[in-house]
A = this chain, B = another copy of it.
Amino acid sequence: MFSFSELVAQFETRLGNSQLFHGQPENLYEPCRYLLGLGGKRVRPALCLMGAELFGDLTEDAWQAAIGIELFHNFTLIHDDIMDKAPLRRGQPTIHARNGLTAGILCGDTMGIAAYQQMSRVQHKLHSILDIFNRTAIEVCEGQQMDMDFEQRDDVTEEEYIRMIKLKTSVLVAASLKIGAITGGSTGGNAEKLYQFGKYLGIAFQLQDDYLDAFGDANKLGKQAGGDILADKKTYLQIKAMEHLTPDQKASLQSWHGNQAEGKVEATLELFRLSSCDKQCREAVEHYSGLAFQALEDVACLSKRKQYLHDLAMALLDRQS
């Protein structure tokens, strides 16, 4: 069995040797190579491989699926960056900013098709695996649409927000684990438990991301805190604050929307603290983390096989114990 960092190292080697995106026309494939080369943590393919290792050896099918999942993730990033008008990804220019809108759309499409091409080469249980992959892919689009819809709304509920981040982020984490487990020979019940683990882990991770973006240590984050506030993003903090502030405080919070005057981050954080949404967000992270670790506990395999997965979840959630 391999640790997260060992799997990522092996994955990078496989990806590098895969000769993906080396055809013509160059204007189509060069941006694809560029984006994949920007790296990323490769959490999803690693989860797929770890899911497989819970139940058996790493097969070619597991590697094939891991590459398919990472390509799919990158496809969503390329198109999401267009929709979010994001100039940077992993500190470098996004494809649409670097090569134009047409390239952004078409390279994204190509990356998505390449994801299916990899996934389709899985030899065993192809129908089951594609069934999960397709449903997940559709759900990710649904989550992205909800996120876009929320930008126009001031009445998003906690339940709606959790559903959105589940679809936009968690289901792909969950499906990575489940698909990996299936390639490893897992029973249906265990694969489903692992799916639940991934789903709750993804929700907890996204909620913590919301928290850290506002209240994290800028040095640890590697970026200025308050990015979501400056971008007027709907986050768990924003939604809970709107639930609990007085009418005057709510009006004050809303007055910062679309307003980039100095002091925006500080004033918003102050209102967040007044509403106790910071505390509620930490509690929600705890809640979903607890559900995640319980689901992992319930997977019927040797406990020591779960260690690396447990370690990775702890690291992702930045927990000491």
Contact = CB atoms under 8 A, between A and B. Distances in A.
A83 B109 contact: no
B106 A83 contact: yes
A105 B83 contact: yes
B127 A102 contact: no
A109 B79 contact: yes
A28 B79 CA distance: 15
Contacts of A120: 127, 130-131, 134
Contact of A25 (B24, B79, B137, B149): B149
Interface stretch (A139-147, A228-236, A313-321): A139-147
Contact of A126 (B79, B106, B126, B137): B126
B25 A145 contact: yes
Contacts of A144: 106
Nearest to A130: B120
Interface in A21-60: 23-25, 27-28
A110 B83 contact: no
A114 interface: yes
A94 to B, nearest CB: 14
B25 A102 contact: no
Contacts of A142: 23-25, 28
A160 to B, nearest CB: 10
Contacts of A114: 138
Contacts of A141: 28, 106, 109-110, 113
Contact of A116 (B23, B79, B116): B116
Interface in A113-170: 113-114, 116-117, 120-121, 126-127, 130-131, 134-135, 137-138, 141-142, 144-146, 148-149
A112 interface: yes
A141 B28 CA distance: 8
B25 A106 contact: no
Given A23-B142, A120-B130, A102 B137 contact: no
Given A25-B145, A121-B127, 13 more contacts: A24-B142, A25-B149, A28-B145, A83-B101, A83-B105, A83-B106, A102-B148, A105-B105, A106-B141, A109-B112, A110-B138, A113-B137, A116-B130
